[in-house]
Structure 1
Amino acid sequence: MIEQEETLIRQVLEGQNESFRTLIDRYYAYLYRVVNGVLHHPKDAEDVTQEAFVKIYAALPQYQFLGLKTWMTRIAVNAAIDYKRKRDRRQQETTYSEELIQTAISEEEPLDVALMRKERGAILARYLSELPPNYRQVIVAYYMDGKSYQQIAEEQKVELKTVESRLYRARGWMKKHWKEDDFL
């Protein structure tokens, strides 16, 4: 059987796509069970199994003939895990959006204003994560938490001049790396 699989793979690599159909027929039910074991949702498992075969086809040139079933299983499981992460993230975003809508309604804030505020917050968080850590600490403390230079120096156990220097350098770093248009 291993020789048959190697022959089929070589044929696929030579452009004989009907040989890949033989591999699909041989392994579809097995990979479907593996994927459904991760996702616990038959319809999603069907979609992800098909996606896994597309990934397997694309990755065949890198296959090293060291256990086809194991190799295909790894690709299918990774596809299932990726799908599950995306699905969970989407559900989390949906929940967050619903909370945002409820907050906007309860505060009588227009929904578009609430959505823009959320989007700006996400952009700001992404940009802040790009800052070097020592700059991020003083920027957040000074601009977002509203702390004085003295308070920051005491909290971070550094000299007042160090806080001033870090803020100065952080502003320079931001001017160099960020565009004003990014925040409008």
Structure 2
Amino acid sequence: MDEELYRIIREAKQGKKDAFAILVRRFKDYVYRYAYGMLGDRMEAEDVTQEAFLKCYAALPRLENEFSFVSWLQRIVSNLCSDHLKKRQKEKTKPIQETLSQMEISEARQRHSAQDLKWTIEESLKQLSPDHRQIILLHDVQGFRYEEIAQTLEIPVGTVKSRLNAARLALRQIMKKGEEEE
């Protein structure tokens, strides 16, 4: 990050709303993409994005080091996504396959395009455990390095590597199973 961003973070910590608005504009897409990847639902991702910035605003004065802002924000978003997933599981929502009509599934399978592949990947990601989904999103989608993920999730680098390997294997199996069903 650059000095300009650190200056903005310091100003936001001091309660300057204009500085915080700049932070929101700069990071809102990043937060939304991560939340959508974890939750697979646009409305929930929007809710998490709003919640994350509300929590961020309230807790920002307590942030000790502006250099850790991105990983700190990532941790807030991760925790909110985890809470939403737990709540969803308690409510025992219908599996994804039941929520999509059979017509939507067959139409999606008939199309052989980049959109179809994207849909397949999104649906496959939804079937992964939250830990596996989170590690793939952080590394393969957001581009975090192993060390950054370890710091964000507060786990050893070795655990990050093994979890990423297991997540990729699980994703391959889900996608392969989907191909066999076609």
Q: Which has the larger radius of gyration?
A: 1
TM-score (norm 2): 0.47
Q: Which has the higher contact order (CA 8 A, sep 6+)?
A: 2
